[in-house]
Amino acid sequence: MAMKSAECLQTVSVNKSIFTGEDSPADCVIYDVVTKQHTHWPKTNTEREAATTVKVGSKIYIIGGWSDEAGKSCEMLDLNDKTKWSIMTNMLEHRIWCRSGFLSDHIYVTGGLDMNYEILSSCEKFNIHNNKWMRINDMLHARAEHGTVVCNDLLYCVGGYNDSRCLSSCECYGVSSDAWNEIAPLNQARCGLACVVLNGNIYAIGGYANDQDLSTVERLNPGIGKWENVASLQHARYLSSACVVGNKIYVVGGRNGQENLKSVEVYDPTSNVWTIAFETENPIWNTNTWAMWFIG
């Protein structure tokens, strides 16, 4: 299963919604977190699993994924139109299970697997104004199934795996220096994690390590530079996705052992508690999620 979307947007109005891809690798589904109802939006032009997605203003970009056709390709949906996904310029390199973030007018895509399933340290960026891709310096560590987020004008890469080994290493990238720097490692190595930023803190959620699905969650305050454990998920899950809605973290689906999950958990940082918010219509895993708000 795969889905299309990524990144979280603080919601401020009537219809607070989460978007996923659910029934097929080309689906785009919106869930209203208030009514728990879902609506289907236009399918992507290319079926893609293990893709990455970025929200930039009113536009959603979906990039890469697990097929010859998807691996380098990029599509964009304008939320002011919502009639179809537009084909964008291809990436420079084929990428599966890469991750992405938006910073300084560019979409940054990090790591992943190439067509030969080699794990990548290479990264590239997409200029949203001239629609061109260009390389940036490689990460310090090749990684896939990692977390990539933007916090305080820096790009962070968290965990993942390299050569069948889950990683605890983390690093951050500065645009002006075009350089990666090692930061504090996770307390627990993890790949297939979900990663978001809430209130200036980076959260590493669930994942997989040592033949075990993880329910543990860690939080990094970049100013302090140390990961701390917070409340664990109600259900262990890896290859889930997450976003922020209304100052809370929503974690969607994932996999637990041999079971694909329908449950959506929500985290309240004030009470440090995870609760089950609702279930999706079908199990969702190996996908991306973003949050959106509507006025009216």
Tens digits of per-residue pLDDT, 113-143?
Answer: 999 999 999 999 999 999 999 999 999 999 9
Residue 119 lies in a domain: yes
Predicted confidence at residue 106, as pLDDT, reads: 98
247 vs 8, more confident: 247
Q: Could you tell me the two tokens for 179?
A: 């350089």
| Local structure of 59: helix, strand or coil | strand
User: 118: domain range?
Assistant: 15-294
Residue 1 lies in a domain: no
pTM: 0.90
Residue 209 lies in a domain: yes
Q: Which contiguous run of DSSP H or E holds residue 296? A: none
CB within 8 A of 241, min separation 6: which ones?
3, 5, 6, 20, 194, 251, 252, 253, 254, 284, 287, 288, 289
Whether the predicted pLDDT of 259 surpasses 60 = yes
CATH number at residue 270: 2.120.10.80
Residue 7 lies in a domain: no
Predicted confidence at residue 205, as pLDDT, reads: 98
Tens digits of per-residue pLDDT, 190-219?
Answer: 999 999 999 999 999 999 999 999 999 999
C-alpha of 189 from chain center: 18
Predicted confidence at residue 1, as pLDDT, reads: 30
**Nearest-angstrom CA–CA distance, 144 and 151:** 20
Q: What is the mean pLDDT of residues 157-179?
A: 96
Residue 241 lies in a domain: yes
Instruction: Identify the band that residue 37 occupies on the pLDDT scale cut at 50, 70 and 90.
Output: confident
Give me the number of domains the chain comprises: 1
Instruction: Identify the band that residue 102 occupies on the pLDDT scale cut at 50, 70 and 90.
Output: very high
Residue 288 lies in a domain: yes
Could you give the percent of the chain with pLDDT greater than 70?
90
Q: What is the mean pLDDT of residues 22-44?
A: 77
Q: Which contiguous run of DSSP H or E holds residue 222? A: none
Residue 2 lies in a domain: no
